[in-house]
A and B are shown apart, each in its own frame.
Chain A
Amino acid sequence: MHVHFLDPYRPRPSLIHALDPRIKLVLALAFILAVALLPIGAWPAYVLLLAVILSVVMLSELGAGFVLKRSALVLPFVLAALPILITAKGAPLWSASLGAWTIVISDAGAERFLSILFKSWLSVQMAIVLAAATPFPQLLLAMRAVRIPRLIVAIFGLMWRYLFVLVDEVLRLLRARAARSGDPREASETGWRTARKARVAAGAAGRRGGTLAWRARVAGGMAGNLLVRSFDRGERIYAAMAARGYDGEVRAFPLPAIPAGQRIILGGGLALLVLLVFLGYLM
């Protein structure tokens, strides 16, 4: 029933977890911006930023394995940058012939590609720590603090709250579909009724599993079902909100002040990042 795997937050008694979410959000974004501002090939700066993020990961007590595993997410997109190896102009570094074609990787291309890869990896690690070390309700507070409109923050809040309910509904729909698409060969396990239905469906569509169009229609029907139920739920939630006095305006308590000690961390963090960007350009 509880779809916890969707929630990246991992509670830990760490310094990072204890930081005010506003500080965390600003520093995380500043870090990612700093990484983006660094020029290609600024390896000393890249290495120092790696040291920074590794320290943060350690301080967060999330475990390097946890962060590394999730950071593998950027890998597929690397394909988009692969051509740079070949098309960037520079001294040839490595070449190979594939039949009629010769592939030449230039040094500028290699440096560019590796820089992109490294920067991407640094950025995603910081994003992972931010999400895993900050409970979502606190992230909402941080969003309000960086002046994201209250209406959007309210929609985010509701979206988060019902994400799990709706994903649960989707999983149930998927499981129901799986139960009904029993393979006729497995009649003994799934039961003869399931097998018969599957055979009938396959017969009607001319192929086991139905045609692509039929499968898409089934999936689409589930999507439509989900959307209709969501409209109705939205109406019921509005009724519940109205019953408790909701008048359309988004209201919340003013945010508490940030403790002085944390302000120092914010200032120090930003100063360090500025310094590292500056250093990167000195090359």
Chain B
Amino acid sequence: MHYSPVPMHIPDGFLSVVVSVLFWIASLAVMAYALKRVNQDLGEKQVPLMGVLAAAIFAGQMLNFTVAGGTSGHLLGATLATVLLGPWAATLVMICVVSVQALIFQDGGLLALGANIFNMAIVGVMVSYFAYQTLQKLTRGRTWGVYVSGFGAAWLSIFVASLAAALELALSGTSPANLAVPAMAAVHAIIGIGEGLITVGALGFLLGARPDLLKRQEAGVPAGRVVWVVGLVIALGLAVLSPLASSHPDGLEWVAEQQGFIGLAQGPLYDVIPDYAFPGISDPALATIVAGLIGTVLVFAVAMGLAFSRRRRARVTAN
């Protein structure tokens, strides 16, 4: 069965339509730009290279190691992808990984996919890039600097991505911010350590076996300035927003305002048909029962139709 690396893939039903759509728009915009940049940078090799690496990251997420007792740490891989491919190709690779997880394995919803992509593929990659570049500069390119940078970038990317997820849940009214944010932050602060350790292990192998692969991306720093800034802004933004949100006494209050905004749109309709819960039926409980009856009839009809067509099929093949 598919192994889920981190508890960050939000299923459908947990995010409001407004939040889902907003993050879909954001993710699509970033994806469009990433496509343009990768086209320039990688050229003809982009499809085979990114395709196989996406498969590798996905498969790599199955690599576990025992943390304590029965629990194991897994790899999300955004940092490694960023270090090896640069931010734009890494974004596309992670978009593919997260999308296939949602589409084929139902790890994360389809409407919520926009937000999941934003958290894991965009925030994860941008923050990795920003952290790795910064830490590398600070350690002035010494060998142990690679390990510190890798660990720091991996941990931070997981941590910040989880904050984004928590805020999305809070904005949707699914989880009160003052509980969701600290909970997600705490859990992922620990999971981030696992990601950091495994990233360091991988970087160690790469430094020994193929240092040329690590050098590939260092040439691209000037072009990545935008990403660096974005990564910094996202990390800072979420770091500031999260405590603000958690300190909110009732996380639902600001959501209620948002709902009121939608309620306004619903208002006129409700006034026109004040007492009807269902055309002709005023009691909501009764309405549910009627709906249940209609539904049962429908399902029954489909079942009968299926049985009938199967019998006909069997008779045809028997002749």
Chains A and B touch each other in the complex, with CB atoms below 8 Å apart:
yes
Give me the interface of A with B, judged by CB distance under 8 Å: 5-6, 8, 13, 28-29, 32-33, 35-37, 39, 43-45, 47-48, 50-52, 54-55, 58-59, 61, 70-71, 73-74, 76-77, 80-81, 83-84, 87-89, 112, 116-124, 127-128, 130-131, 136, 139, 149, 151-152, 154-163, 165-167, 169-171, 173-174, 209, 212-213, 215-231, 233-235, 237-238, 241-242, 246-248, 250, 279, 281-283
Whether A87 and B13, one on each chain, are in contact in the complex, defined by CB atoms closer than 8 angstroms, is no
Cross-interface CB contact of B44 among A48, A215, A238, cutoff 8 Å: A238
Whether B56 and A219, one on each chain, are in contact in the complex, defined by CB atoms closer than 8 angstroms, is no
Q: Please give 9 more A-B residue pairs, beta carbons under 8 A apart, in addition to A215-B65, A224-B201.
A: A29-B111, A32-B12, A151-B47, A155-B96, A156-B96, A156-B100, A158-B51, A228-B210, A282-B269
Contacts of A70 in B (CB 8 A): 106
Cross-interface CB contact of B200 among A33, A119, A158, A217, cutoff 8 Å: A217
Bound together, the chains give a CA A265 to CA B206 distance in angstroms of: 53
Contacts of B93 in A (CB 8 A): 155
Q: Can you list 26 pairs linking A and B with CB atoms under 8 Å apart?
A: A6-B2, A8-B104, A47-B295, A52-B298, A73-B11, A81-B174, A112-B173, A119-B12, A121-B13, A131-B103, A131-B104, A149-B32, A155-B51, A155-B92, A157-B51, A158-B47, A165-B55, A166-B55, A169-B59, A216-B201, A217-B197, A217-B204, A224-B203, A227-B56, A234-B48, A282-B277
Whether B292 and A84, one on each chain, are in contact in the complex, defined by CB atoms closer than 8 angstroms, is no
B146 within 8 A of partner (CB): no
B67 within 8 A of partner (CB): yes
Bound together, the chains give a CA A121 to CA B302 distance in angstroms of: 21
Contacts of B204 in A (CB 8 A): 217, 220-221, 224
Contacts of B84 in A (CB 8 A): 227, 231
Whether A51 and B296, one on each chain, are in contact in the complex, defined by CB atoms closer than 8 angstroms, is yes
B180 within 8 A of partner (CB): yes
Cross-interface CB contact of B31 among A52, A80, A89, A152, cutoff 8 Å: A152
Bound together, the chains give a CA A202 to CA B300 distance in angstroms of: 63
Whether A32 and B17, one on each chain, are in contact in the complex, defined by CB atoms closer than 8 angstroms, is no
Bound together, the chains give a CA A229 to CA B290 distance in angstroms of: 60
A189 to chain B, nearest CB (A): 21
Interface hits, B168-208 → A, CB 8 Å: 169, 173-176, 179-180, 194, 197-206
Whether A48 and B294, one on each chain, are in contact in the complex, defined by CB atoms closer than 8 angstroms, is yes
B109 within 8 A of partner (CB): yes
Known A-B contacts A80-B174, A124-B12; the reply to A173 vs B277 at CB < 8 A is no
Whether B194 and A154, one on each chain, are in contact in the complex, defined by CB atoms closer than 8 angstroms, is no
Query: Which single residue of chain A is at the shortest CB-CB distance from B216?
Result: A231
Query: Which single residue of chain B is at the shortest CB-CB distance from A88?
Result: B252
Whether B169 and A80, one on each chain, are in contact in the complex, defined by CB atoms closer than 8 angstroms, is yes
Bound together, the chains give a CA A89 to CA B255 distance in angstroms of: 13
Whether B58 and A163, one on each chain, are in contact in the complex, defined by CB atoms closer than 8 angstroms, is yes
Contacts of B296 in A (CB 8 A): 51
Contacts of A6 in B (CB 8 A): 2
Query: Which single residue of chain A is at the shortest CB-CB distance from B34?
Result: A152
Whether A223 and B45, one on each chain, are in contact in the complex, defined by CB atoms closer than 8 angstroms, is no
Q: What is the predominant secondary structure among interface residues of chain A facing chain B?
A: helix
State which size class the interface on B falls in. 35 or more
B116 to chain A, nearest CB (A): 12
Whether A77 and B7, one on each chain, are in contact in the complex, defined by CB atoms closer than 8 angstroms, is yes
Query: Which single residue of chain A is at the shortest CB-CB distance from B295?
Result: A51
Bound together, the chains give a CA A229 to CA B104 distance in angstroms of: 25
Interface hits, B271-290 → A, CB 8 Å: 273, 276-279, 284, 287-288, 290
B101 to chain A, nearest CB (A): 11
Q: What is the predominant secondary structure among interface residues of chain B facing chain A?
A: helix
Whether B12 and A162, one on each chain, are in contact in the complex, defined by CB atoms closer than 8 angstroms, is no
B15-56: contact bitstring with A at CB < 8 Å (1 yes, 0 no)?
111001000000000011001000100011111111111111
Whether B303 and A58, one on each chain, are in contact in the complex, defined by CB atoms closer than 8 angstroms, is yes
Cross-interface CB contact of B48 among A28, A167, A237, cutoff 8 Å: A237
Contacts of B51 in A (CB 8 A): 154-159, 161-162, 234, 237
B115 within 8 A of partner (CB): no
Contacts of B64 in A (CB 8 A): 219
Query: Which single residue of chain A is at the shortest CB-CB distance from B301?
Result: A55
Contacts of B13 in A (CB 8 A): 35-36, 74, 116-123
Bound together, the chains give a CA A121 to CA B14 distance in angstroms of: 11
Bound together, the chains give a CA A141 to CA B207 distance in angstroms of: 40
Contacts of B279 in A (CB 8 A): 282
Contacts of A54 in B (CB 8 A): 295, 299
Listed residue (B14, B176, B296, B303) with the most chain A CB atoms within 10 angstroms of its CB: B14
Query: Which single residue of chain B is at the shortest CB-CB distance from A74?
Result: B11
Contacts of A76 in B (CB 8 A): 7
Bound together, the chains give a CA A130 to CA B102 distance in angstroms of: 11
Contacts of B245 in A (CB 8 A): none
B244 within 8 A of partner (CB): no
Cross-interface CB contact of A216 among B44, B73, B284, cutoff 8 Å: B73
Bound together, the chains give a CA A174 to CA B72 distance in angstroms of: 14
Bound together, the chains give a CA A33 to CA B114 distance in angstroms of: 13
B290 to chain A, nearest CB (A): 7
Cross-interface CB contact of A131 among B52, B106, B290, cutoff 8 Å: B106
Cross-interface CB contact of B10 among A77, A173, A283, cutoff 8 Å: A77
Contacts of B20 in A (CB 8 A): 36
Contacts of B54 in A (CB 8 A): 155, 158-159
